[in-house]
Structure 1
Amino acid sequence: MEDIFVGRLMSSPVETVAPDTAAHVAAETMIDEGIGSVVVTDDDGRLLGILTATDFVQIAAEQRWATDATVETYMSTDVTTTTVNAEVRDVADLMIEEGFHHVPVVDEEEGVVGIITTTDITAYMSTVQTPSPA
């Protein structure tokens, strides 16, 4: 995975929602699109947070669901990001260390330009080398 950069593997465009989007609408979007997260942005495409399937599991486990809740109620705002020029190995190491499955890809000028996920990395790896037996 040397010299493979995030921009080559990231999913783009990324599904985004506004912070005032109803949480159930974000959940429906994730189900309809077959994705594990939505990125929360402002009108200029700047990252405000992320809402993941893991967040919804936590919400359900804590029984704190509110029918009128917005994305802003549940989103994570302390979001680790990367850039298109970051090495995939570094991002993969970060994802393993922190237990992340989604890392938004941002650009200073354009805001959120994509997202790199464990699925993106796994899909790439499956075409690069044949898995070895355990």
Structure 2
Amino acid sequence: MDDIFVGRLMSTTLYTVPPDTLVEEAAQKMLSSDVGSVLVVDGDNQLEGILTTTDFVKVVAERRPKDETPVDTYMSADVITATVQDSIRDAADVMLEHGFHHLPVVDDTEGVIGMLSSTDLASYLSHVQTPSPS
């Protein structure tokens, strides 16, 4: 697994929103796209945060008017990221250590270029041929 890199497994279909997007609109985008997160990016595609299904627990608990609250109120702003050159073992370790299900993949010049999810890792592992125990 050390020789398999994030760039091989990440999804390049990204679901992004600007920071002033209302949480209700972000939630509708997540539901209609059947994804567990949206990346919050600026006009230059630079990552500003991530909003996940877990963040919506806080939205509901605080009972703010969902249709009037921007995503930057609830997004995680100190986002831990990966690059395409990171090994999937390192990425998986980061995800386990922090309890993440989503790890944005960034490039210094292009900004956000992909997303690695726990589903991507599980899908990869389910297809790896391993020797049977003797």
Q: CA deviation at 1:58?
A: 2.6
Q: CA deviation at 1:63?
A: 3.0
Q: How many aligned positions are there?
A: 130
Q: CA deviation at 1:12?
A: 0.5
Q: Does residue 1:38 correspond to 2:41, yes or no? A: no
User: What SS class does the counterpart of residue 51 from structure 1 fall into?
Assistant: strand
- 2:14 is aligned to 14
Q: CA deviation at 1:59?
A: 2.2
Q: CA deviation at 1:57?
A: 1.8
Q: Distance in 2 between matches of 1:48 and 1:70?
A: 13
Q: Does residue 1:107 correspond to 2:107, yes or no? A: yes
Stretches of structure 2 lacking an aligned partner (at least 5 in a row)? none
Q: Which amino acid is 2:44 matched to?
A: D
Q: CA deviation at 1:73?
A: 1.3
Aligned-pair Cα RMSD in Å: 1.4
TM-score (norm 1): 0.92
Q: CA deviation at 1:22?
A: 1.3
Which residues in structure 2 correspond to 1:1-134 (within 5 Å)? Answer: 1-60=1-60, 62-66=61-65, 67-129=67-129
Q: Which amino acid is 1:20 matched to?
A: D
What stretches of structure 1 move > 4 A for 4+ residues in a row? none
User: What SS class does the counterpart of residue 106 from structure 2 fall into?
Assistant: strand
Q: CA deviation at 1:115?
A: 0.6
User: What SS class does the counterpart of residue 115 from structure 1 fall into?
Assistant: strand
Q: CA deviation at 1:65?
A: 2.9
Q: Distance in 2 between matches of 1:128 and 1:31?
A: 30
Q: CA deviation at 1:14?
A: 1.1
Q: Which amino acid is 2:84 matched to?
A: V
Q: CA deviation at 1:72?
A: 1.2
